[in-house]
């Protein structure tokens, strides 16, 4: 597509979730890249007036750079379809499933994609039995959050109770997941192609919010260090996981690979970060795709249901 073919493009950023600040950084980076590619692009802070702003602004298309709730979970996607505006990335259902970690894990299980064992926590859950079921350590996660918000690692029943309370501040639905000892990897999907895998290493307890966006001690290894057959296998699983959820255009699938080489899918990100610490631009760069070209290719994924 030529730049003028896109018409007037709204870069949706900011929003109302706990990932607002990350989204603002992603959106600004995307906006400047589109301008450098001569696209008629404008930044739009997606608050509760966003539908009216888009209608009044006579926009032709939207680049979604929103992370977390109301931006990555199908809500804004549904609003854009009502407006008839083409938008980047996955449609409503895939976006909602990608944000809902528990339902995504259940879907992957039916597709033969391995994930870590887990237990949803309820008021009557016997925490003393967690060690018997899953062993320690475990991860405690809010069901619908991104950027590792609300996630804690617990090594005892006492720590588990504290972690449950912390996660519950982000979501009413919380689950505990067996800790997979091994390496953390991520695979970017762009227009049906799996880009080179990246291995993430951090001296922190795990790859948490601080490690993702603020620490300079986090290491991103690309090449990832896996033998070529193992990396290709991981890329194929990523494509399968992406397709099973019904994702479209672009995204990222995260994995833990155990010490014996078994891959466990963690989650799919339907609107990954595009900041200077983000993984998708790193993978694209190693594949020979510059940041501006990456953003342009993502814009080309925009679609609309009529």
Catalytic residue ranges? 19, 147, 213, 252, 254, 267, 269, 273
Q: Which residues does 301 contact at the CB level (< 8 Å), separation at least 6?
A: 88, 89, 191, 248, 249, 250
Residues in the chain: 306
Torsion of CA 145, 250, 118, 120, to 10 degrees: 40
Q: Which residue has the tokens 């926590």?
A: 121
Exposure on the CB side of residue 252, measured as CA atoms within 13 A: 24
Strand partners, 252: 188, 269
Q: Is 186 exposed, middle or buried (0-12, 13-18, 19+ CB in 10 A)?
A: buried
Sheet holding 174-178, edge to edge: 118-121, 174-178, 138-142, 152-154
Tokens of 212: 């993702």
Of 16, 62, 72, the C-alpha closest to 271 is 72
Please report which residue ranges of the chain form alpha helices under DSSP H: 20-36, 50-56, 75-83, 92-99, 101-110, 130-133, 157-168, 209-213, 228-245, 279-286, 291-299
Asked if 186 and 252 touch (Cβ cutoff 8 Å), the reply is yes
């Amino acid at each position: 597509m030529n730049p003028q073919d896109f018409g007037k493009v709204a870069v949706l950023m900011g929003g109302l979730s706990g990932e607002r600040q990350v989204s603002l950084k992603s959106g600004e980076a995307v906006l400047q890249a589109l301008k450098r590619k001569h696209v008629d692009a404008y930044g739009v802070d997606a608050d509760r007036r966003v539908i009216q702003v888009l209608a009044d602004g006579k926009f032709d298309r939207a680049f979604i750079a929103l992370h977390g709730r109301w931006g990555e979970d199908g809500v804004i996607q549904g609003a854009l379809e009502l407006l008839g505006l083409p938008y980047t990335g996955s449609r409503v259902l895939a976006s909602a499933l990608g944000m809902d970690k528990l339902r995504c894990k259940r879907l992957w299980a039916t597709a033969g994609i391995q994930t870590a064992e887990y237990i949803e926590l309820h008021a009557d859950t016997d925490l003393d039995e967690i060690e018997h079921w899953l062993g320690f350590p475990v991860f405690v996660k809010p069901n619908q959050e991104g950027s590792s918000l609300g996630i804690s690692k617990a090594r005892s029943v006492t720590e588990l109770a504290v972690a449950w309370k912390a996660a519950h501040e982000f979501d009413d639905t919380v689950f505990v997941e067996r800790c997979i000892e091994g390496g953390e990897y991520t695979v970017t999907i762009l227009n049906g192609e799996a880009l080179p895998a990246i291995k993430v290493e951090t001296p922190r307890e795990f790859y948490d919010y601080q490690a993702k966006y603020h620490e300079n001690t986090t290491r991103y290894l690309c090449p990832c260090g896996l033998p070529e057959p193992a990396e290709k296998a991981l890329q194929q699983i990523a494509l399968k996981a992406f397709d099973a959820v019904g994702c479209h255009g672009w995204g990222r699938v995260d994995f833990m690979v155990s010490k014996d080489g078994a891959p466990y899918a963690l989650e799919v990100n339907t609107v990954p970060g595009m900041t200077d610490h983000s993984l998708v631009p790193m993978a694209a760069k190693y594949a020979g795709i510059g940041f501006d070209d990456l953003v342009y290719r993502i814009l080309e994924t925009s679609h609309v249901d009529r």
